[in-house]
Structures are given as structure tokens and as C-alpha cells.
Amino acid sequence: MDSREQILKKVSQVSHRMRKNLLDMAYGVGAGSSHIGGGLSIVDITATLYGAVLNLDPKNPEWKDRDRFILSKGHGVLGYYTALAEVGYLTREELMTFEKPGSDLFGHPVKYRKKGIEFSNGSLGMGLSLGIGVAVSGKMNHHDYRVFVLLGDGETNEGSVWEAALAGPHFKLDNLVAIIDRNNLQQTGAGVDIMNTGDIAAKWESFGWQVKKVDGHNIGELYDAFSRKNTSGKPLAVIANTIKGKGLSFAENNNSFHHAVLTKANYELAMSELEAEKVEIG
């Protein structure tokens, strides 16, 4: 069995490859635009889940005891498809078909279990309700799987999220993990200006969830939060503090890259920055 140090190094390498693939996918769209910022903010989260936590078998995608991952913030697909490629659901060649005619990889996920995509998502506020249903089913049918739902912090403006948040503790769903990508920005501006959710961790706790706050780019903190057995009898909410556009100097906390065209100049700059980072991670 790999040591914790070996696992974290492996996930760091997974995350690095994912960012490079993400850039190639976004640049491959050409004159079209894609959700770069929100895809980059979740890369370390999905790299940790798919690289070290989720119990999956890509050769048996309908395996009943597989863990489930639901991308509720469906526009973050660049940080999702690249993770699926790391574990064998998608090839690099398939990644490069992103948003092209005839591709299965749309700008929001469309259910295709053979490719590891559990649910379709685009309309915000739906993923946690889906996760509640899957978690309840697991309990009723005595399956050991866990359900991970990744939401955007702007998405928590939706009332349906809080209806689902009430249901999780009511049904004692300790097999459910909600991850909130807390990058503090949404499509049209800062979250505090559009709908200030205040102390979001306290809100989830008041709804009856066990809550952990982590640095959403610290793989060690993410790994510990996701991998430790939940014995609280409550669902777990992980508040992951992230940076929109993480990893690219020109995109970090720059809401112009919420949905943008990646120019040749920006692509080349981003790749050079990632190559420099590669020296650091070894």
C-alpha cells in the first residue's frame, strides 16, 4: 500500500496533467469559448477524488457498489472530463473532441455511464437533490458506496440546494459528501454582491451537517477530508476555499475567464507557466 506521501505526490502529478489537458481542450475549441475559470478552480478537488479516493472500476461502469460523483456545477466540465481521462474512462483523443460536432463531451455533462458520467447537469441547483436520491438508494439497498456532489458557491443561491440540505441529515445520509467550490465569484460578479451567503460553513452546520473547511488547492487537506471514514451519522459538507482560474497567472480571480476564448498568446503563456511548475513537483 502506498504511503500518504506517495499518494499525495501521485495526485499532484495527476492535477498537473489535468491542467495541461484542460488547456489543450479549451484552446482546441478555437474561436469558441469555454468555462475555464470554474474548471480550473475544481481541478485539485477532482484530481484528489479520482486519483486517490473514489472506488471505481472503469471496466465495469455499472458496478453497483461504485462510488458516485455528481458535478452539480455542470459548467465545470473541464475539471471533470480531464479527471475521467486519468482513470481510464476517456482517452486523450476523446478529450480533444471537446465541444466539437459529433463529440460526447459537451459544455455541460450529459449522462453516459460507459464514460463515467453519472448524470446530466446544466441547470444549477439540481445536483445535491440527485445525490440525496442516490444516497438514500444506497442505504435502502445496503450498498457501501459513497456519493460526492460538487457544487459552486454561487449555486448555493438556489433554494433547491437548501431543500436538499435539509433532507440529507433528516435521512442520516453519512454516505453523502457535498463539496462547495468556494471561489467567491460567479458568472456576473462577486458572490458577496450578488447574494451574500455569509458564513456558509455555519449555515451548513445549522442544517445538521458535519462541516470541514479546507484549502481547495491543498491536496493533503482534500485527501484527509474525503478519505476519512464518516462516523458522525451526518452527511459531510466540505467547504473548499479555491481560486477561480487557479494555476494561470492571468486567470486567477479574473472573472473575465468565467467563460472565455483562450487565445494563442494566453495558451502559450499558460503552458510555459505549467512547464515551470513541473520542475517543482518533480
Stretch 91-106: mean pLDDT: 96
Q: Are 167 and 131 in contact (CB under 8 A)?
A: no
The Cα–Cα gap between 78 and 16 comes to 13
Torsion sign over Cα 227, 230, 236, 239: negative
Q: What percentage of residues in the chain have a pLDDT greater than 70?
A: 98
Q: Which amino acid would we find at residue 170?
A: H
Encode pLDDT of 37-55 as tens digits: 999 999 999 999 999 999 9
Please determine, for residue 282, whether its predicted confidence score (pLDDT) is greater than 60: no
Residue appearing with cell numbers 454561487: 154
The Cα–Cα gap between 261 and 270 comes to 13
Q: With respect to CATH, is domain 4-281 assigned 3.40.1160.10?
A: no
Q: How confident is the model at residue 278 (pLDDT cuts 50, 70, 90)?
A: low
Tallying the residues shown for the chain, one arrives at 282
Domain assignments of the chain as residue spans, ordered by start = 4-281
The Cα–Cα gap between 52 and 7 comes to 7
The Cα–Cα gap between 256 and 250 comes to 10
The Cα–Cα gap between 96 and 119 comes to 21
Encode pLDDT of 173-204 as tens digits: 999 999 999 999 998 889 999 999 999 999 99
Q: How confident is the model at residue 229 (pLDDT cuts 50, 70, 90)?
A: confident
Mean pLDDT over the full length of the chain: 95
